[in-house]
Amino acid sequence: MSAYESRPGLSIKLSGGVLRLTLNRPDKRNALDDTMMSGLIDALDAAGRDEDVRVIALGGEGEHFCGGADVIARNARGADDKRPRAGSIQRRLPSQAHRLIPLLKTVQTPVVCIVQGWAAGIGLAMALAADLTIAAEDARFWAPFCERGFTPDSGVSWMLPRRIGEVRARQMLLLGRVVSGREAADWQLIDRAVPRADLDDIAAGVLAGFTQTATVALGLTKWLMASGQSASLEEALRNEAFAMELSSRSEDFREGMAAFTGKRQARFEGR
């Protein structure tokens, strides 16, 4: 199966430099099952090597972005009327959710997350991991873990305090506070909250902008920011020198210099 072939519950389409990954189980609030998870991982992995992909759009069909993981399906009894054996979560996570979130953060292609309705559990994690997240003002961000009797996964306990601070993170993680899109933008949990009626048009404008940027430089800048979270200053400076060397060999660098000299707008091709 091609990495860009749609799967049950996941619509995948590449057009005009935009790879659209759309969660498509609206009757289940787009809750992720194993097939959708593997489809997202395969598509993101392939996009990182595909020079035709300039930006990745991650969204949800219908009234909601993602209501979390489909826990009911994962714990359903099999044909032998047995539940998954002990340790199934510990075995599954490293190859599923705990691979998906790092991919979103490290793929050298910008990821734009578009949120309406609920973004809960892993839906919240994906919104946090994306490079830019735009949400409807009445969207709802929720970390339901403790309220359901289990602990956070998908990097939420790591990303959330770094994004919004420990006090607000405790409100969401320990008290289960639901945060609206408008409040999420105020907290800098997401980048922007807009009226629901304008969400698609505004997101389309952002995606179109990314298809005209210097994709190589953008991807390397994303890598620098990700690696810099655990690097010393000396390591960060070495990484910057490495990234500068690579980006200066790109066609977009030459175009950028020519545009600067000619006092015109650069026309980047993403190469």
> What's the CATH number where 150 sits?
3.90.226.10
Look at residue 97 in the predicted model and tell me its pLDDT. Answer: 72
- Cβ atoms 113, 59 nearer than 8 A: yes
For the segment 163-173, the average pLDDT, to the nearest whole number, is 95
Residues 249, 188 share a domain = no
Residues 199, 122 share a domain = yes
Residues 230, 206 share a domain = no
Q: Is 173 exposed, middle or buried (0-12, 13-18, 19+ CB in 10 A)?
A: buried
What is the SS3 string spanning the chain?
CCCCCCECCEEEEEECCEEEEEECCHHHCCCECHHHHHHHHHHHHHHCCCCCCCEEEEEECCCCCECCECHHHHCCCCCCCCCCCCCHHHHHHHHCHHHHHHHHHHCCCCEEEEECCEEECHHHHHHHHCCEEEEECCCEEECCCHHHCCCCCCCHHHHHHHHHCHHHHHHHHCCCCCEEHHHHHHCCCCCEEECHHHHHHHHHHHHHHHCCCCHHHHHHHHHHHHHHCCCCHHHHHHHHHHHHHHHCCCHHHHHHHHHHHHCCCCCCCCC
Give residue-wise pLDDT tens across range 115-129: 999 999 999 999 999
Among 210, 232, 251, where does a domain finish?
210
- The mean-pLDDT minimum among 34-38, 49-53, 95-99, 243-247 falls in 95-99
Residues 252, 191 share a domain = no
Residues 224, 190 share a domain = no
Residues 222, 205 share a domain = no
Residue 63 pLDDT > 50: yes
Residues 111, 167 share a domain = yes
Residues 246, 200 share a domain = no
Residue 73 pLDDT > 90: no
- Cβ atoms 155, 172 nearer than 8 A: no
Is residue 34 assigned to a domain?
yes
| Cα Dmax for the chain | 71
Is residue 269 assigned to a domain?
no
Q: Is 89 exposed, middle or buried (0-12, 13-18, 19+ CB in 10 A)?
A: middle
Is residue 58 assigned to a domain?
yes
Residue 93 pLDDT > 60: no
Residues 257, 200 share a domain = no
Q: Tell which wins on pLDDT, 45 or 72.
A: 45
Q: In total, how many domains does the chain have?
A: 2
User: Crossing angle for the helix pair 251-262 and 215-228, nearest 10 degrees?
Assistant: 110
Q: Which residues form the domain of 203?
A: 10-210
Look at residue 178 in the predicted model and tell me its pLDDT. Answer: 95
Q: Tell which wins on pLDDT, 146 or 203.
A: 203
Q: What percent of the chain has pLDDT over 90?
A: 63
Is residue 5 assigned to a domain?
no
Among 210, 238, 254, where does a domain finish?
210
